[in-house]
Amino acid sequence: MEDLRKRIWQGIALRRAGVMTVVVEVQREWQRRPYDKKIKRTKRFMVHDPNDAAKVGGRVEFRECRPISKRKRWIIVEPKIENRK
Protein backbone atom coordinates (compact mmCIF):
# COMPACT_ATOMS: atom_id res chain seq x y z
CA MET A 1 0.00 0.00 0.00
CA GLU A 2 1.33 3.39 -1.03
CA ASP A 3 1.84 6.09 1.56
CA LEU A 4 -0.45 8.97 0.57
CA ARG A 5 1.49 11.52 2.61
CA LYS A 6 4.48 11.50 0.27
CA ARG A 7 4.94 14.51 -1.97
CA ILE A 8 4.36 14.10 -5.70
CA TRP A 9 6.00 16.63 -8.04
CA GLN A 10 6.13 17.17 -11.78
CA GLY A 11 9.03 18.41 -13.83
CA ILE A 12 11.00 18.13 -17.06
CA ALA A 13 13.73 15.53 -17.56
CA LEU A 14 16.91 17.44 -18.40
CA ARG A 15 19.46 14.67 -18.83
CA ARG A 16 20.35 11.08 -18.10
CA ALA A 17 22.81 10.88 -15.20
CA GLY A 18 24.17 7.38 -15.16
CA VAL A 19 22.31 4.10 -14.97
CA MET A 20 18.66 4.40 -13.83
CA THR A 21 18.99 8.09 -12.93
CA VAL A 22 17.42 11.20 -14.45
CA VAL A 23 17.97 14.84 -13.55
CA VAL A 24 14.56 16.52 -13.35
CA GLU A 25 14.00 20.28 -13.15
CA VAL A 26 10.95 21.61 -11.30
CA GLN A 27 9.86 25.21 -11.82
CA ARG A 28 7.47 26.95 -9.47
CA GLU A 29 5.99 30.42 -9.65
CA TRP A 30 4.22 32.62 -7.13
CA GLN A 31 3.35 36.28 -6.51
CA ARG A 32 4.83 38.37 -3.73
CA ARG A 33 2.85 40.83 -1.68
CA PRO A 34 2.22 43.81 -1.64
CA TYR A 35 3.24 44.52 -5.25
CA ASP A 36 2.24 41.21 -6.88
CA LYS A 37 5.64 40.68 -8.45
CA LYS A 38 5.89 37.24 -10.03
CA ILE A 39 8.84 35.16 -8.87
CA LYS A 40 10.09 32.00 -10.57
CA ARG A 41 12.38 29.47 -8.93
CA THR A 42 13.79 26.26 -10.35
CA LYS A 43 15.27 23.28 -8.56
CA ARG A 44 16.89 20.12 -9.86
CA PHE A 45 16.36 16.66 -8.42
CA MET A 46 18.17 13.38 -8.99
CA VAL A 47 15.35 10.89 -9.63
CA HIS A 48 15.54 7.09 -9.71
CA ASP A 49 14.20 5.63 -12.97
CA PRO A 50 14.20 1.81 -12.61
CA ASN A 51 12.67 1.12 -16.05
CA ASP A 52 14.61 3.79 -18.01
CA ALA A 53 11.24 5.07 -19.23
CA ALA A 54 11.89 8.83 -19.00
CA LYS A 55 12.91 10.63 -22.18
CA VAL A 56 15.08 13.74 -22.14
CA GLY A 57 12.83 16.79 -22.55
CA GLY A 58 9.68 14.93 -21.49
CA ARG A 59 7.46 15.58 -18.49
CA VAL A 60 7.97 13.33 -15.48
CA GLU A 61 5.94 12.77 -12.31
CA PHE A 62 7.94 11.65 -9.27
CA ARG A 63 7.47 11.12 -5.55
CA GLU A 64 9.47 10.77 -2.34
CA CYS A 65 10.92 7.41 -1.37
CA ARG A 66 13.57 5.95 0.88
CA PRO A 67 17.15 7.11 0.23
CA ILE A 68 18.53 5.21 -2.75
CA SER A 69 21.93 6.92 -2.85
CA LYS A 70 23.60 10.05 -1.51
CA ARG A 71 21.47 12.44 -3.61
CA LYS A 72 18.56 10.28 -4.79
CA ARG A 73 15.47 10.36 -2.58
CA TRP A 74 12.88 10.43 -5.37
CA ILE A 75 11.44 7.79 -7.71
CA ILE A 76 9.49 8.15 -10.95
CA VAL A 77 5.77 7.46 -10.65
CA GLU A 78 5.12 7.66 -14.38
CA PRO A 79 6.59 9.48 -17.35
CA LYS A 80 4.10 11.69 -19.17
CA ILE A 81 3.80 10.71 -22.84
CA GLU A 82 3.09 13.66 -25.08
CA ASN A 83 2.03 13.34 -28.71
CA ARG A 84 3.82 16.02 -30.66
CA LYS A 85 3.10 16.36 -34.36
pLDDT tens by residue, 30-44: 999 889 999 999 999
User: If you compute the radius of gyration of the chain from its CA atoms, what whole number of angstroms results?
Assistant: 15
Low-confidence ranges of the chain (pLDDT < 50): none
CATH class of 8-79: mainly beta
CB 58 within 8 A of CB 82: yes
Q: What residue spans define the domains of the chain?
A: 8-79
pTM of the model: 0.81
| Distances 31 to 11, 25, 40, 44 between C-alpha atoms, Å | 20, 20, 9, 21
